[in-house]
């Protein structure tokens, strides 16, 4: 029997889209490869729900004390990952996100492995103070020399990364993230005709996701007489602020905070629309998931979302523009069932064609094999 190639996935905090992406890889490709997994100890609720089942499908999972900001522990963690690679004779290391990418590239190259890096979200966005941004840019450009292949989750991420860091000598590939529709949601969904209309926002509650703009837009629409409910699915740093503001509002019964939920599709299908107010997105998992289950999307026109949603597949508004968001919401809630069903059909076709988990997995498996074959041919 031919020995399966050994691949290590490395990430900082396994939360949100980055956790979903890695767990999809571990679940879908574990028959073809032997997988190993290193992450921080701080995941979201779905991570803790899934990790025991993940451990049954891979060879080993190790957690480290990983801090978001640079610290002395980074050197310790890199050394531990280096020892891990040597111990388990890893063939390829795949790092995800800024901290996971740093660890994977340094430890992987020191151990003589092929190294793949997938930037996620923040790496291409202006999320740092000027001095921090300069240091981060220098580190990222230096790490290009430790990287054999960069896999991007959208053309937007690829273009922004290349513009910022100019890793001209590194091979790159765009492989859209994939979503697999649960069988229970394969039936055609009928447009909900609820009053008030239910808008669902599915994301961690933090500034870059734009929920503060959605809160203000819906608050103003309610004051103007629209019949709406705004449902927040997710947790994070802004939850207490939103709850306080909602509690002080005369319309507090129109705002709902559900926290982190594991049965996302079930909650989505109970909404009239999924609202995505993001200031930037490297891909757009929530949009794809909504399109897959047949829920019309109201989305900001930014980043990787532009490759997922357009005016034929959703209701679009410009990011960080409350008036434009209000206009898009008004158009959506007053649209006919016929218009919505036509939009849903186009959206689902687009999602199934470009963003299936099967397509993503096959392409990624091929990239793993091609990179390792180059190593063995030498």
Q: If DSSP states are collapsed to H, E and C, what string results for the chain?
A: CCCCCEEEEEECCCCHHHHHHHHHHHHHCCCCCEEEEEEECCCCHHHHHHHHHHHHHCCEEEEECCCCCCCCHHHHHHHHHHHHHHHHCCCEEEEEHHHHHHHHHHHHHHCCCEEEEECCHHHHCCCCCHHHHHHHHHHHHHHHHHCCEEEECCHHHHHHHHHHHCCCCCEEEECCCCECCCHHHCCCCCCCCCCCEEEEEECCCCHHHCHHHHHHHHHHHHHCCCCEEEEEEECCCCHHHHHHHHHHCCCHHHEEEEECCCCHHHHHCCCCEEEECCCCCCCCHHHHHHHHHCCCEEEECCHHHHHCCCCCCCEEECCCCHHHHHHHHHHHHCCCHHHHHHHHHHHHHHHHHHCEHHHHHHHHHHHHHHHHHHHHHC
Angle between helical axes of 239-248 and 211-223 (0-180°, round to 10):
10
pLDDT at position 195 over 70: yes
pLDDT band at 250; cut points 50, 70, 90: confident
**Of 1-5, 132-136, 186-190, 354-358, which range is least confident?**
186-190
pLDDT band at 56; cut points 50, 70, 90: very high
What would the pLDDT profile of 16-26 be if each residue is shown by its tens digit? Answer: 999 999 999 99
**Range 132-148 average pLDDT:** 84
pLDDT at position 185 over 70: no
**Range 348-372 average pLDDT:** 95
pLDDT band at 186; cut points 50, 70, 90: low
pLDDT at position 133 over 80: no
Can you give the pLDDT at residue 303? 92
CB 82 within 8 A of CB 90: no
Can you give the pLDDT at residue 109? 96
pTM, 2 dp? 0.91
Max Cα–Cα distance, the chain, nearest Å: 70
Can you give the pLDDT at residue 274? 98
Can you give the pLDDT at residue 164? 85
**Range 187-191 average pLDDT:** 57
Can you give the pLDDT at residue 378? 39
Can you give the pLDDT at residue 375? 58
pLDDT at position 1 over 60: no
What would the pLDDT profile of 144-175 be if each residue is shown by its tens digit? Answer: 999 999 999 999 999 988 888 878 789 999 99
What are the structure tokens assigned to 199, written together? 């808008």
Can you give the pLDDT at residue 68? 85
pLDDT at position 63 over 70: yes
Can you give the pLDDT at residue 377? 43
pLDDT band at 127; cut points 50, 70, 90: low
**Range 89-108 average pLDDT:** 96
**Range 126-134 average pLDDT:** 66
pLDDT at position 188 over 60: no
**Of 56-70, 170-184, 350-364, which range is least confident?**
170-184
Query: β-strand 34-40 against 60-64: which pairing, if any?
Result: parallel
Provide the mean pLDDT of the chain: 91
pLDDT band at 184; cut points 50, 70, 90: low
pLDDT at position 117 over 50: yes
pLDDT at position 202 over 80: yes
pLDDT at position 181 over 90: no
What would the pLDDT profile of 272-311 be if each residue is shown by its tens digit? Answer: 999 999 999 999 999 999 999 999 999 999 999 999 999 9
CB 211 within 8 A of CB 277: yes
Q: Domains plus CATH for the chain?
A: 6-178+356-377 (3.40.50.2000), 183-354 (3.40.50.2000)
**Range 120-147 average pLDDT:** 76
pLDDT band at 248; cut points 50, 70, 90: confident
pLDDT at position 192 over 90: no
């Amino acid at each position: 029997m031919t020995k399966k190639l050994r691949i290590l996935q490395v990430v900082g905090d396994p939360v949100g889209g980055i956790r979903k992406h890695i767990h999809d890889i571990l679940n879908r490709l574990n028959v073809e490869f032997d997988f190993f997994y290193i992450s921080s100890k701080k995941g979201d609720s779905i991570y803790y729900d899934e990790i025991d089942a993940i451990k049954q499908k891979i060879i080993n999972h190790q957690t480290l004390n990983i801090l978001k900001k640079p610290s002395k522990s980074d050197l310790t963690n890199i050394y531990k990952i280096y020892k891990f690679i040597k111990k388990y004779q890893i063939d390829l290391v795949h790092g995800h996100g800024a901290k996971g990418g740093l660890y994977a590239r340094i430890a992987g190259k020191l151990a003589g492995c092929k190294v793949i890096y997938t930037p996620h979200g923040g790496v291409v966005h202006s999320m740092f103070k000027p001095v921090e941004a300069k240091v981060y840019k220098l580190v990222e450009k230096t790490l290009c020399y430790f990287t054999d292949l960069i896999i991007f989750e959208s053309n937007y991420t690829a273009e922004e990364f290349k513009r910022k860091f100019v890793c001209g000598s590194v091979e790159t590939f765009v492989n859209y993230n994939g979503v697999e529709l649960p069988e229970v949601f394969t039936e055609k969904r009928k447009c909900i005709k609820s009053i008030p209309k239910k808008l669902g926002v599915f994301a961690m509650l933090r500034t870059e996701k734009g929920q503060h703009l959605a809160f203000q837009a819906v608050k103003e629409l309610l004051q103007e007489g629209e019949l709406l409910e705004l449902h927040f699915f997710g947790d994070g740093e802004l939850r207490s602020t939103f709850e306080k503001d909602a509690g002080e509002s005369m319309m507090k019964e129109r705002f709902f905070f559900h926290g982190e939920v594991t049965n996302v599709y079930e909650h989505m299908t109970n909404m009239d629309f999924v609202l995505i107010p993001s200031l930037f997105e490297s891909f757009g998992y929530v949009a794809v998931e909504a399109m897959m289950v047949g829920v019309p999307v109201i989305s900001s026109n930014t980043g990787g979302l532009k490759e997922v949603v357009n005016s034929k597949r959703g209701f679009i508004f410009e990011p960080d523009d409350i008036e434009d968001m209000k206009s898009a919401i008004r158009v959506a809630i007053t649209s006919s069932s016929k218009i919505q069903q036509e939009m849903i059909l186009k959206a689902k076709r687009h999602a199934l064609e470009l963003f299936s988990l099967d397509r993503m997995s096959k392409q990624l498996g091929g990239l793993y094999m091609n990179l390792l074959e180059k190593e063995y041919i030498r």
